[in-house]
Amino acid sequence: LIHTLRHTTLHHTLIHTHTHSYTLIHTLIHTHTHSYTLIHTLIHTLIHTHTQQQRSLSLHEYTSIGLLKEAGISVPDGMVASSSEEAYSVAKQIGSKDLVVKAQVLAGGRGKGTFEGGLKGGVRIVYSPEEARDISSQMIGRKLYTKQTGEAGRICNQVFICERRYPRREYYFAITMERSFQGPVLIGSSQGGVNIEDVAAENPDAIVKEPIDIVEGIKMEQAVKVAKKMGFPPALVNEAAENMIKLYNLFIKYDASMVEINPMVEDSSGIVMCMDAKINFDSNAEYRQKKVFELRDWTQEDPRDRQAAKADLNYIGLDGTIGCLVNGAGLAMATMDIIKLHGGTPANFLDVGGGATAHQVTEAFKLITSDRKVQAILVNIFGGIMRCDVIAQGIIMAVRDLDLKIPIVVRLQGTRVDDAKALIAASPLKILACDDLDEAAKMVVKLSEIVSLAKEAQVDITFQLPI
């Protein structure tokens, strides 16, 4: 399982999130019988949802294409438009009667998506500025629904209009950080313009991988080797290799975690060109990539992600009914696991960290309770660096200020725990204190079940202490 985790989205995400995550997973698997359930849940959530705290920044296609152009990489001529009239002007300015209008939505499957209003496809070919205006008017300001967005859809605020090019051949090229290679790796394939995961599953030999020494950097012979294996014609191998080197330099310059070109093409005029670009940036590098991170489009993300980022909280939304507020990633995962053990389902992963303030705790409660599925909350704090009395103050403040009605179970251990218990006991609020984690988990699961049953029966319930 450890070997498998090295190649999963969960592992990749955790490596960029928490320095000791690999040790954490290893420990959980070998010390906790039910950790597999938790890991399976997290893997499923991270792969199949887009509504979690982001560990890497994704930018719109037009922005990524702009970065490539600045780096001297061949890309189609194009410009972004924020209105149908601007789309008309852009199309006239490009001066071609063969154009592509692309909805700028951060979701896969745009081409097969459907807009509210009925327009089919988020990537459309048009033949005049008038047609560009008409199609853009049906995209901008409307939600696009794809397999990846689900029923929520994703708002389209802009379109990217570019010249249409006719490729002779399409290739796949990417650069990513790969733990198994202990650094960046070039990935190429002769099969571009399609889902690379499908290619890897059906024909693994079609995938080329070339690890790069991050200290020495990329060498021309390495890029040439990849270009040849990808199947570029001999006359274009050097040109393709030069583009790969420029892409690698961009990857390093901007602290990217992934650069994906799908497709990289040999066009009808015999030029190697990058037709599409997807770049993810490591969020840990935000302090030195401020200009890039200022381009983040929060309209493309769950509002809770923005709320969590502002409060400096590590948050991942799940599908359960029990909200979790914990300090430390390891304890948070173990807490979710014990909830599953007793038949409950966690509604989130939320790590307030080791230096949380009372204000952050209040923000954490706001975040948890913004999810209408939450029926009960479990707070599990081990006070090492974190002081339990600070957490208690935050809990009391949050329950009072937010006028929370759902049951809250609190388990505190560690620094100033007696002060924390005294604060909770002295408050008039209905906060259930519990010393034992197992008992706390059992209690919160039972309470969530009671609240769920009451809601189904459309019955109002109140809780009296002691329960």
Asked about 172 being catalytic, the answer comes back as yes
Closest CA to 144 of 107, 169, 178, 176: 107
Cβ 82 vs Cβ 164: under 8 Å? no
Would you call the peptide bond into 466 cis, given omega within 30 degrees of 0 as the criterion?
Answer: yes
Cα–Cα distance for residue pair 5/373, rounded to 1 Å: 29
Q: How many residues does the chain have?
A: 467
Residue 164, class by beta-carbon neighbours within 10 Å (0-12 exposed, 13-18 middle, 19+ buried)?
Answer: middle
From the list 260, 266, 301, 363, the catalytic residue is 260
**Beta strands 114-115 and 142-145, pairing class:** antiparallel
Q: Which residue is associated with the tokens 């190697």?
A: 272
Residue 65, number of CB atoms within 10 A of its CB:
26
Cα–Cα distance for residue pair 239/261, rounded to 1 Å: 15
Residue 431, number of CB atoms within 10 A of its CB:
21
Closest CA to 57 of 267, 246, 357, 295: 295
Cα–Cα distance for residue pair 139/391, rounded to 1 Å: 46
Residue 262 annotated as part of some ligand binding site: yes
- Quote the tokens at residue 258: 């992934």
Residue 350, number of CB atoms within 10 A of its CB:
26
Residue 111 annotated as part of some ligand binding site: yes
Residue 385 annotated as part of some ligand binding site: yes
Residue 426, number of CB atoms within 10 A of its CB:
10
Cα–Cα distance for residue pair 46/154, rounded to 1 Å: 18
Residue 443 annotated as part of some ligand binding site: no
State the amino acid at position 76 in one-letter form. P
From the list 62, 88, 171, 172, the catalytic residue is 172
Residue 306 annotated as part of some ligand binding site: no
Residue 386 annotated as part of some ligand binding site: yes
Number of helical H runs and strand E runs in the chain: 17, 20
Residue 276 annotated as part of some ligand binding site: yes
Asked about 260 being catalytic, the answer comes back as yes
Please state the residue numbers annotated as binding site for Mg(2+).
262, 276
Tell me the catalytic residues: 172, 260
Please state the residue numbers annotated as binding site for ATP.
102, 109-111
Please state the residue numbers annotated as binding site for substrate.
327, 384-386
